[in-house]
Amino acid sequence: MNDFIDHILKKHLSPSICIKTTSSVSGGCVNSTYKISTDTGSYFLKWNKASLNGMFISEEKGLDLLHKYSPIITPKPLGKGVISEKSYLLTEWIEQGIQSSRFWENFGNNLAKQHQNTATKFGLDHDNFIGSLAQSNAQHSSWNDFFIQERLVPQLRLAESKNLISNSIQVQFEMLYSKLDELIPPEQPALLHGDLWSGNFMINQTGEAAIFDPAVYYGHRETELAFTKLFGGFSSEFYHHYNEAHPMEQGFDSRVDIHNLYPLLVHVNLFGTSYLSGIIQTLNRFT
């Protein structure tokens, strides 16, 4: 393993770099992750089998987009590739710190600024991944068309192929599709992190938010904010300051569960049917 890491550092950083320590980093469920301390600083390395190289290629593109258009801190990509039948992504290491007094205010304001970066269509010029699952970003003029065709339908097909969902659930989704234009207010496509929940942000050394593991695309900003509420939610201060900076349409809270059908389907396909109950509750409510 040390030879693998040494090769990566010498290739992307310096032929003379010297590794001091390597340590496994917990928290991820898809890749092997390490902190690498060297004589020139610390770095973060994630790796997987060579066949998943596309996952790291698209992650690097997502980080580059966020670096360019978002005021929120993200780790800078330093190199990617395939060595010894392993694919990898090397980034800068972000040291953990203590939350500043204005942490949630700044986080909410900065996400609002990120979402003000818009595009003419929903989607992206390339596909990527959410976790280890492929995510299609084929572009659409309509959010609801994009949401149905590039988010819900692919996950439903995958779940069906794994015998994870029943035909009655499929029928209820079809019923929901016909109601989305009434339920979801129109918005301009906004630059989304795409997988923003409490496990994908941290507090850096200056006490500010840093986000990572993106699944970037241009989407309806409500779906990003809904995702932040899925597993415990963020502080109420975050939503207050976001809404002051970039006001939401009335009734957002009533639409959260519709937007979260997508991440719940992703979790069904990654982790099993224990996530179906939330999907069924939402379908029963809206169909």
Q: Which residues are catalytic?
A: 195
Give, for 135, the enclosing helix (H) or strand (E): strand 133-135
Q: What angle (nearest 5°) sits at the alpha carbon of residue 269, between those of residues 264 and 275?
A: 40
Residue 269 CA to residue 108 CA, distance in Å, equals 30
Q: Describe the crossing of helices 252-259 and 261-271 by its angle, rounded to 10 degrees.
A: 30
Residue from 8, 92, 91 nearest 56 by CA = 91
Instruction: Map residue 284 onto helix, strand or coil.
Output: helix
Q: Which long-range contacts (CB under 8 A, 24 or more apart) does 227-235 make?
A: 227/195, 227/196, 227/197, 227/259, 227/260, 227/263, 228/196, 228/197, 228/198, 229/256, 229/260, 230/197, 230/260, 230/263, 230/264, 231/197, 231/198, 231/199, 232/198, 233/198, 234/104, 234/107, 234/198, 235/104
Let me know if 180 is exposed, middle or buried by CB neighbors in 10 A (0-12, 13-18, 19+).
middle
| Residue with token string 């001091």 | 20
Distance CA 177, CA 132 (A): 26
Instruction: For tokens 């899925």, name the residue.
Output: 230
32: amino acid identity, one letter: S
